[in-house]
Amino acid sequence: MRVINFNPGPAALPQPALERARDELLDFEGSGMSIMEHSHRGKVYEAVHHEAQERLRRLLKLPDTYTIVFSTGGASMQFALVPMNFLPPGRSADYVLTGGWSEKALDEAKLVGATRVAGSTRLSDGRYVRVPTQAEVQLSPDAAYVHTTSNNTLYGTQFHTFLDTGPVPHVCDMSSDFLWRPTDLSRFALTYAGAQKNLGPSGVVVVVANRDFLRTGRKELPKILRYQTQADNDSMYNTPPTLAIYLVRNVLAWLEGEGGLEAMERRNRAKAELLYGTLDALAGFYTAPVERASRSVMNVVFRLPTEALDEQFVAEAKQAGMVGLKGHRLTGGIRVSAYNAVSERDVATLVDFMKAFAKAKG
């Protein structure tokens, strides 16, 4: 029996994508072996690789001026690769701090070159309960790039309108809200997303980049660390994570079959309305710390009147078949991660549980 999985990442995958992987595991399309036993240089794997790229391009309506690169090392590796590639000596990069992951991105960039904090919503106790408005961010017109985080997985905040960085290249970590709705990625110079939140298993990171921006990357780097190398070699400069990319392909096929990003947005908004509506209606029992305008559609955080009740909530939810609800160790409380693979019915089941729990303990 499968449980209802609210894990923050690695997270729930659509069951049809997993069933397809099961059915294709031993004998992929009559080839007599699994996809992960195929050469990455062979026609069988190449077709999967290109199908994943084509589906992504179609879903995102991506112009030809943009390229899709499969990278590895997680989003955390991109925290280092972005400044290594695009922050040359004598330049500075702007970072907007909105949570733990953006702090980590900045920490890596500091080890590479000059940085500036262009905006931060960090509270004195270290928490974040909102993202900044455009007016609160002071961007430097000659920054090498501006780095932002579109959705803050730990704190449950999200940019619903992206910052306008003008002529300065905008680099965005979209790990936890990639493909949650139709998004025009051509306003960014480079976006990246670790697959294990909303796209597939861990092991692969999707990078969507403007081809001209990639060409500005530093050449004084080992080849393997240059984005341009992966772009020039169709993400097969070395052996790509073939199984992870295959699973991303399955998820993308499912996504398109369900009606694409418009359908995902409708679903995700309905789930978020259900969750936040319940939190607001039961505000005497549940506390939702995030400011309304910054509430994340992907990660919904809240707490109960006591830590003991938080723990009881998690334990009883588990007994009712729902897992992954414990908040991040930095924030405590409860976190509901409701990515694309989490259905409206899953969320309705949780909401019923939340109502019953509040009634019993409130």
Output the smallest distance, CB 312 to ligand PLP, in A. 27
- 260 scored as a contact of ligand PLP (CB under 6 A): no
CB of 167 to ligand PLP, least distance (A): 25
Closest to ligand PLP by CB, 112 or 354? 112
For residues 177 and 161, what is the distance between their CA atoms, to the nearest angstrom? 13
Which positions ≥6 away from 232 have C-beta within 8 Å? none
- Token pair belonging to 105: 């991105």
287 membership: H or E segment, kind and range? none
d(CA 320, CA 345) in angstroms, rounded, equals: 14
> How many CA atoms, within 13 angstroms, populate the side-chain half-sphere of residue 282?
23
Give the total of residues touching ligand PLP (CB under 6 A). 12
Q: Is 310 a catalytic residue?
A: no
Write the interaction track for ligand PLP spanning residues 6-25; mark x where CB under 6 A is met and - where it is not: ---x----------------
Between 298 and 350, whose beta carbon lies closer to ligand PLP? Answer: 298
CB of 38 to ligand PLP, least distance (A): 25
Of the residues 16, 74, 88, 332, which one makes contact with ligand PLP according to CB under 6 A: 74
Per CB under 6 A, the segment of 24-32, 70-78, 327-335, 345-353 that binds ligand PLP is 70-78
> Nearest distance from residue 9's CB to ligand PLP, in Å?
5
Using the minimum distance from each CB to ligand PLP, give the nearer residue, 76 or 216. 76
Query: Rule CB under 6 A: is residue 72 a binding residue for ligand PLP?
Result: no
Give the residue nearest to ligand PLP (CB). 74
Residue 270: how many CB atoms within 10 A of its CB?
14
Q: Please tell me whether residue 327 binds ligand PLP under the rule CB under 6 A.
A: no
Residues between 79 and 118 that touch ligand PLP (CB under 6 A): 101
Q: Does 153 bind ligand PLP (CB under 6 A)?
A: yes
Q: In a 3-state reduction of DSSP, which class is residue 310?
A: helix
**Catalytic-labelled residue, pool 180, 197, 310, 326:** 197
- What secondary structure letter does DSSP report for 89? T
Instruction: For residue 90, count CB atoms less than 10 angstroms from its CB and return exposed for 0-12, middle for 13-18, buried for 19 or more.
Output: exposed
d(CA 68, CA 57): 8
Tell me the C-alpha distance between 348 and 287, whole Å. Answer: 19
CA distance 172 to 354: 34
Residue matched to tokens 């303990």: 361
Q: Is residue 254 annotated as a catalytic residue, yes or no?
A: no
The distance of closest approach from Cβ of residue 328 to ligand PLP in the complex, given in angstroms and rounded to an integer, is 10
Count of other CB atoms within 10 angstroms of residue 170: 22
Kindly calculate the radius of gyration of the chain based on its CA atoms and give it in whole angstroms.
Answer: 21
Binding segment for ligand PLP (CB under 6 A), chosen from 18-26, 83-91, 169-177, 217-225, is 169-177
Q: With binding defined as CB under 6 A, does residue 337 bind ligand PLP? A: no
Per-residue binder mask for ligand PLP (CB under 6 A), 170-199, x = binder: ---x-xx-----------------x--x--
180 among known catalytic residues: no
* Sequential DSSP letters for 14-43: -HHHHHHHHHHSSSGGGSSS-GGGS-TTSH
> Where do contacts with ligand PLP occur on this chain (CB under 6 A)?
9, 74-76, 101, 149, 153, 173, 175-176, 194, 197
Catalytic sites, residue numbers: 101, 173, 197
